[in-house]
Structure 1
Amino acid sequence: MVPLALGVRGLIKAIRAKDSDDQPPSAVACGLFSVASVTVANGADNISVYTPTFRTIGVSATLITVAVFAVLVALWCLIGTLLGSHKKITEFVERYTFSELRMRTAHSSASADRAPAMLG
């Protein structure tokens, strides 16, 4: 329920920010409590599914399952490494990351310039 609640809260904040022309909030969990809550909530569903499964399938099937999981995680890591080091992908990410950063910086400075006028 915690990830769902965090997602709904983020959606509401994004909709409110869109209506008021403010910068949309970051979709990153900030702070120790948020990160810990998401981690526990994400791991709890795995424990609730895999504990009964491993309990009922036996030792040999559990070892095979763990081995397959390890191989597939290694495959995901290999794919991530290959994609993350591919020249065209890194150029694409860098181009859009820097343009996003410039847009955020321009928006922040424009908001800072408007703030004193609104107060005075």
Structure 2
Amino acid sequence: MNPGIIGQAAGLFTVTNIDDILILSLFFAQGAGRPGSARRIVLGQYLGFAGILAVAVAAAYGATFLPEPALPYLGLLPLALGVKAARQAWSGRNGEDEDGDRAGDGGPGALEVAAVTFANGGDNIGVYVPVFATAGVGAMSGYVVVFLALVAVWCGAGRFFATRPLVARALSRWGHVLLPLVLIALGLLILIEGGAFGL
């Protein structure tokens, strides 16, 4: 693989995904001490990012699964998850859903993480499409491989920050408040920046 492509892909991934480290840290803090939680978070991050890449690659070849005017409405996903998390934190149910069932064995579920990752990546799609469209098949494959490798690095960084004693104490104390706030703010930001609902 061309070293120039590796560097370009790493830079593009870093610039477009820097905000994911905070969200991943909050997810890892929420799942701390719960068996299987880290695996679900990593799986969800990969599912969500694979969805972003699939849409970007398809769009680079001319397919449009998501028309551009629909992208801002992806903000409804983290907004809804943030409202749900806020209700759970407010009622003190500690992860119980409306039916009183726990998602898996505690902590965030893979589909929840995937939904937030995909929604947060709506703007990434807009950046990746022109790059992929002009890169050619070989270079685009290089971008995809580097991106998928860096998802693992991002998950490791999120977990690292969530387990630092000072950060872990803060997230343990305030994470139940921060996660809903971050998800709601992210949802609103996506909606407003994209001009959804005429905002």
Under TM normalisation by the shorter chain, which class is it? 0.3 to 0.5
Higher helix share: 1
State the structure with bigger RCO (CA 8 A, min sep 6), 1 or 2: 2
Q: Normalising by the residue count of structure 2, what TM-score does the alignment of the two structures yield?
A: 0.27
Q: Normalising by the residue count of structure 1, what TM-score does the alignment of the two structures yield?
A: 0.42
